[in-house]
Structure 1
Amino acid sequence: MEALGMIETKGLLASIESADAMLKAAEVRLLERTFVGGGLVTITVTGDVAAVKASVDAGAAAVTRIGEELLVSQHVIPRPHSELGETILPPTPISERRKEMPEPEEEPEPDVELREEAEQPEPEETAKSEEETAPADNDPDLKTDVAEMHKEDMDRLVEKAGLDKAIETIEKCRVVKLRNLAREYDDFGITGRMVSKANKMELLEEFRKYYSQK
């Protein structure tokens, strides 16, 4: 590392402007962007001494054009000690880190025949499943299409098919649908912004509690 150049700014916008100007002004590499705290951001570049000095001057000038109060400090360290880079700076510049990231390995496709066999249910299980769903399917008043399930449909399903069957039905819903369904209840156990943060298991448990108390 021949030289180290740093500019500290207030706010992300000023830091982006300074980084852009620094990289355009001279042959330097972007080494690090650090969020110090309190809105302060430090941009660090490296390169030969002359290039880093020109780069820092250009970055500082770009920030002051936006607002002089946005430039907190600027500094150039010529020929920093090797241990400095090892202790406080990343060993690889930001621009080169993406190149070093390994490509994700693709999982091999399972054998087609094995997959088809796994997807075919056993005859006994199929018959049992049909028996369990028969009461709900034979009743035209019950809606079991989870994509169009609303509170009124859930109330009717609990009343006619039982709570366990109703919970089993909405278990097929995605968590987004369960959250939308929960918002239709006035006295649901999870309310407000907490609904958006609740996972599927928490929502199903609250539905069970809600109807158990009815």
Structure 2
Amino acid sequence: MKQEALGMIETRGLVPAIEAGDAGVKAANVKLLGYELVKGGLVMVAFTGEVAAVKASVEAGSAAAARVGQVISEHVIPRPEADLRMVFKGTTGKPENDPPSNSPDDNPPGVDDSSSDADKNVKSDEPSEYKEPVGEEMDLTSMTVGDLRKLARKTPGVTIHGREISRANKEKLIKEILRARGRKD
């Protein structure tokens, strides 16, 4: 008679969890149920299979994960209740609150999604505040705030000085630098 077990390893970070899953599956004849992203950077990997195989798998997975990161906990539940197994069925590691994508490939063949064009027209009445950075502005947006502050202090024509530069946010610094460079040219 085959006795099923549920094995779990909880790690801090995804890399140790992947390592635990890989080593656990290679160590014994178990099925990797998946992983679950938990708050605070914790990731839980779950295995199922025969009790002895799951125990060996969890031990090997924990040891492998400990070599590359931090193992928070490990546990094997021999002969779990059938309802508990339903909790882990279909665990994929994707957050449940992800919005569904509306790409054209998602529609079944023969279904016309013409309502998306009408929605776009309705939204166009609202003023758009976001502008795509171009050229020199794109280089500035990739800089850190500290680097932008240093650049603002060295750029002639910047109207903010001293503590104003220290207190300015990234957007204000970029605006000032671009305005000063525009005046200089």
User: Which is helix-richer, 1 or 2?
Assistant: 1
| TM, length-normalised to structure 2 | 0.49
Structure showing greater radius of gyration is 1
Greater strand share, structure number: 2
TM-score when scaled to structure 1? 0.43
